[in-house]
Amino acid sequence: MKKGSWFREYYEAILVAVIFTLFVRTYVAQAFKIPTGSMEDNLLIGDHLFVNKFIYAPHWDRPLHSLLPYREVQRGDVVVFKYPQDPRRDFIKRAVGVPGDELKISNKVLTINGKEEVNPRVVHKDPQIYPDTPFLPASLRSRDHFGPFVVPEQFVFCMGDNRDNSYDSRFWGPVPRSYLKGRAVIIYWSFEAEPNAHEWRGWAARLKQLAGVALRFFTGTRWDRTLTLVR
């Protein structure tokens, strides 16, 4: 085989692999890392997930599309979305309300259309209940008391499972349907990490972080969480 021919085949193989990877990442699946404790104890800081980006993708009412696994977001889905106040950032929360749902929170208890939410993964780690009084800032009052609020069309109301430590739709409103990036599907790796370890703090900090992962890969990996489905 000529040198030029070998180089061309090698180059084409790499190019196809890159294009396929970009296609999959854009339209099918994407990796996501849990940066904070807002979904504890269901999802932990350092959990690495695969997100199904295909499920909520725009589609048409055609016979072919009816055979493909599209569907609308449902109550209980753990979703990744663009943060409405800064679309450059991705958040992960649970969809608790879909269009038309009436939500109300009273003394930490969420009711949906008049019925108490059923979600065994919700935790309240702070026993204190802030009173529903205008003398408290809304940032405190809305944690334990909210609504009633009807989710508008083309929006989804999202909350963290760690209800006392989650910055979510109670504070900045519902998520536009167009901001949803996908549904969290499976934990492919879980590693003990510090909160917000993904934030850029310079090359020195990143190299130190990578070295720490390499040294603690076996002891820091939560092996019992590997390949568990996200519920």
Highest mean pLDDT (candidates 28-32, 148-152, 180-184, 186-190):
148-152
Q: What's the angle, vertex CA 126, arms to CA 124 and CA 129, rounded to 5?
A: 95
| pLDDT grade for 112, boundaries at 50, 70 and 90 | very high
Q: Could you report the per-residue pLDDT of 22-76, keeping only the tens digit for each?
A: 544 554 557 788 889 999 989 999 999 988 887 887 655 655 555 556 688 999 9
pLDDT in the model for residue 222:
94
- Return phi, psi of residue 181, to 5°: -100, -25
Domains and CATH numbers, the chain: 3-229 (2.10.109.10)
For residue 70, CA distances in Å to 25, 99, 210, 222, 225 come to 17, 18, 37, 32, 27
Predicted pLDDT at 62: 55
* Separation of alpha carbons 156 and 38, rounded Å: 18
Residue 146 or 216, more confident: 146
Longest dimension (CA), the chain: 80
In the chain the beta strands, taken as DSSP E runs, fall at: 29-33, 47-52, 78-82, 90-97, 102-106, 109-112, 115-116, 146-150, 155-159, 175-176, 180-190, 228-229
